[in-house]
Amino acid sequence: MSKPASDPGTGGVDRELTMSRAMVDAIASEMRADDEVFYMGEDVQDYGGIFDSTEGLLEEFDRDRVMDVPISETAYVGAAVGAAQAGMRPIAEIMFADFVGVCLDQVYNQMAKNTYMSGSAVNVPMVLTTAVGGEYNDAAQHSQTLYGLFSHLPGMQVVVPSTAYDAKGLMHAAVRSDDPVVYMFHKRLMGIGWMPAPEGPKTPVPEDDYTVPIGEADVKREGGDVTVATLGLHVHRALDAADQLADDGVDVEVIDLRSLVPFDTETVLDSVEKTGRLVVVDEDYQSFGVTGEVVARVAERSPDALEAVERVAIPDVPIPYSRPLETEVNPQVEDIVAAVESVE
């Protein structure tokens, strides 16, 4: 088994955090450093965020800076756009990514377009945080990732941390960005008491501030036979699959895409030029989404390198409730293993 390729520079750091603690660590640090940073969303005060995204902030900051808001996403996400254009640095949370439907105009016609429509006369330095993903049987309206939806609509940067280290670094980068950043955290990775996370996302996290640049993928595991490009929860599933495949002598390289917009084509391309085989794994719908985009970029830039390709994603159905049905549609470790074997 090969050593993880990326060293997040945490040598000597004893402190291990869950993803939610690392995310809050960065938010608190940015709020401390800049009075213009504030957080608003539903149940972010006393509850601390349904998925622990603001847990503990109220101990340090007042209720004007950690704001509960009415269940009125159009109003408060739009208010974040306005506050950002006024020069503040708001962070607004949509509790589940699925709920973006009720405020989509403010997201894709206002937040995402105002910079361009104004010819950069205005800009929108806000962060839109939202919880994504399934695998706990919450059914069709509470389990989507919608990675492709946000990434398809131009004008927003989109990041998806899969480890505590990246959760902190990407949050620092997102708040400091002068453009709108959609920060999508996977519920299953946060380390919430009532929703156990796998081991992988809990990592050493330095006390000091640092950024993970938006637009850089991360090679999580080096390998020479097959490239698996994925994100979010499925980074950890791909690493599990790679471990299994290593026992059979198949050497898998696992890339955590981390940012969808902007997209790090080079890292994927470098890997595929080495392996010749590409499997893209996504917890979003298959058609017109992330998997197709990754394959297209490689095919455009380096068609000769691509000997075999496979996509593993949610087939084009809403997420079903019942356990055997959800397991059928959400890519499992064995599905990734099978896909790698099919291209190998």
- Residue (50 or 79) nearer to other proteins, CB: 50
CA atoms of 122 and 184, how far apart (whole Å): 25
Q: Are 135 and 332 in contact (CB under 8 A)?
A: no
- Residue (111 or 219) nearer to other proteins, CB: 111
Q: Which of residues 32-51 bind other proteins (CB under 8 A)?
A: 42-43, 45-47, 50
Residue 142 bears catalytic tag: yes
Among residues 16, 36, 138, 209, which is the contact residue for other proteins, using CB under 8 A?
138
Between CA 228 and CA 237, with CA 233 as vertex, the angle to 5 degrees is: 50
97 contributes a contact to other proteins by CB under 8 A: no
Q: Binding mask 274-313 vs other proteins (x if CB under 8 A, - otherwise)?
A: -----------xxx----------------------xx-x
Rounded to a whole number of angstroms, the minimum distance from the CB of residue 320 to other proteins is: 4
- Residue (93 or 98) nearer to other proteins, CB: 98
CA atoms of 252 and 226, how far apart (whole Å): 5
Among residues 62, 87, 121, 194, which is the contact residue for other proteins, using CB under 8 A?
194
Q: How many residues sit close enough to other proteins to count as binding (CB under 8 A)?
A: 49
Query: Which residues are annotated as catalytic?
Result: 142
Interface with other proteins by CB under 8 A: which residues? 42-43, 45-47, 50, 68-72, 74-75, 98-99, 101-102, 135-142, 193-196, 285-287, 310-311, 313, 315-318, 320-329
